[in-house]
Amino acid sequence: MLSPMAKLWQPADGQGLHALVEEYTVGEDYRIDGEHMLPYDLQASEAHAEMLHAIKVLTAEELATLKKALHEIELLWRTGEFKVTRSMEDGHTAIEQFITEKYGDVGKKIHTGRSRNDQSLTMVLLYALYQTREVKELADKLAIAIDAKVERHQDVPMPGYTHMQRAMPATVGMWLGAFGAGYKDAAHMVSSVIFLLDQNPLGSAAGFGINGLQLQRETTTKLLGFARTQENPMYCGLSRGMFENAALQAMSLCMVLSSRFATDMMMFTQQETGFFALSDRYVTGSSIMPQKKNYDLFEIMRANGRFSGPCRCRFKRPSLDLGVATTEITKTQRRLSWRLATSAPKHFGCFWKWFQIYR
């Protein structure tokens, strides 16, 4: 366990933050860094250290020490031995504290030319790119899987419904094909937002860049695999929340489609309709009514679709400040929104092998 340490923003002779203030302002966000975000922070830190060495702020020996320490932290994190505590506030502080305590002032030197602002922005963008690329891949695979089912059951007749009532003759192929087309469009939307996210804010510091230190921002852009550098440092801060909102908006189409499909399946798997069924591996039952099949998968999928909307709306409430507009949302809320957005295509895609159609 790391010993208590002054916050990165506190003077060395500071009195320390009052415990109640710390508890209220930090909340549970430190857990998000410790449980999910740390690998992306470590990745950005290593790229920043490489850049500092390139501009001769770090010696070769210091760079080697920092890379060793960062890899050590990642290994400890993956084995559950590296913890981020509330007193640290975030993963950024936890990383710097570990390196400083074990390897000396080189742990402080890695902070040269950056702020927790651009550190956090970079970490979140790397995470967002990973998530959106995964959703894009899942949406593509899901569209292919649906097309295969459509081809096999193209002409199987089924009623088409409006207002929960039978309306016109349709086919299974028409019904399923609607969702397949939807997921193809969803994949296109996610591709567009990946282009938006794919720019590097590292080096923008607290939103005004660094005067007197010629950072090589293109170096970290290349090392981190970003397509381009986010040039205007003030825009880096302005885009906080805006980029996440755009990503969630794009991924929300997957959630809407999955929620709608879940609603249809809850109706079409009833005994009164009996159009479709899933294998027993994908349904639950009742301890007192053994004849029942409970399609909990679809109930939760439908509920998540309805719940994700209010979560996403939190990103649309800007907090106006002098010169910039940021979004008032905690890391905990952000993580919940991302988890809901990515869960739909994962769970929607898991049961297609066992999807049964009754003619």
CATH number of the domain that residue 82 is part of: 1.10.275.10
Domain end among 71, 94, 112: 112
Q: Residues of 292-308 as b/e, b for ≥16 C-beta within 10 angstroms? A: eeebebbeebbebbebb
Could you tell me which of 150, 145, 143, 146 has the C-alpha nearest to residue 183? 143
In a domain, 8, yes or no: no
Q: Are residues 125 and 108 in the same domain?
A: no
Q: Are residues 180 and 91 in the same domain?
A: no
- pLDDT means over runs of 10, the chain (359 residues): 53 65 69 87 97 98 98 96 86 92 96 94 94 91 91 93 94 95 95 97 94 94 98 93 87 88 92 87 89 88 74 54 50 64 63 58
Which residues have a Cβ under 8 Å from the Cβ of 80 and sit 6 or more positions away?
none
C-alpha 105 chain-centroid distance: 33
* Count of domains for the chain: 2
In a domain, 4, yes or no: no
The pLDDT score that the predictor gives to residue 325 is 44
- Report the amino acid identity of residue 65: T
- Report the amino acid identity of residue 327: T
Based on C-alpha coordinates, what's the Rg of the chain?
A: 25
Do residues 30 and 85 touch, judged by C-beta distance below 8 A?
A: yes
Structure tokens at 232: 């205007």
Measured between alpha carbons, how far is 348 from 335 in angstroms, rounded to an integer?
20
**What are the catalytic residues?**
163, 286
Q: Are residues 81 and 195 in the same domain?
A: no
Q: Are residues 131 and 101 in the same domain?
A: no
The pLDDT score that the predictor gives to residue 133 is 94
In a domain, 9, yes or no: no
Q: Are residues 339 and 286 in the same domain?
A: yes
Q: Are residues 67 and 173 in the same domain?
A: no
Domain end among 65, 95, 112: 112
In a domain, 3, yes or no: no
Q: Are residues 103 and 179 in the same domain?
A: no
Could you tell me which of 96, 67, 75 has the C-alpha nearest to residue 2? 96
Measured between alpha carbons, how far is 227 from 246 in angstroms, rounded to an integer?
18
In a domain, 2, yes or no: no
Strands 157-162 and 165-171: antiparallel
Three-state SS annotation for the chain: CCCCCCCCCCCCCCCCCCHHHHHHHHCCHHHHHHHHHHHHHHHHHHHHHHHHHHCCCCCHHHHHHHHHHHHHHHHHHHCCCCCCCHHHCCHHHHHHHHHHHHHCCHHHHCCCCCCHHHHHHHHHHHHHHHHHHHHHHHHHHHHHHHHHHHHHCCCCEEEEEECCEEEEEEEHHHHHHHHHHHHHHHHHHHHHHHHHHCEECCCCCCCCCCCCCCCCHHHHHHHHCCCEECCCHHHHHHCCCHHHHHHHHHHHHHHHHHHHHHHHHHHHCCCCCCCEEECHHHCECCCCCCCCCECHHHHHHHHHHHHHHHHHHHHHCEEECCCCEEECCCHHHHHHHHHHHHHHHHHHCCCHHHEEECC
The pLDDT score that the predictor gives to residue 62 is 98
The pLDDT score that the predictor gives to residue 1 is 45
C-alpha 287 chain-centroid distance: 37
The pLDDT score that the predictor gives to residue 282 is 83
Domain end among 79, 112, 145: 112
The pTM of this model reads: 0.85
What residue numbers bound the domain in which 152 lies? Answer: 117-357
For residue 142, give the CATH number of its domain.
1.20.200.10
- Partners of 320 in the β-ladder: 325
Which residues have a Cβ under 8 Å from the Cβ of 118 and sit 6 or more positions away?
201, 202, 203, 204, 205, 206, 236
Measured between alpha carbons, how far is 219 from 232 in angstroms, rounded to an integer?
16
Do residues 259 and 302 touch, judged by C-beta distance below 8 A?
A: yes
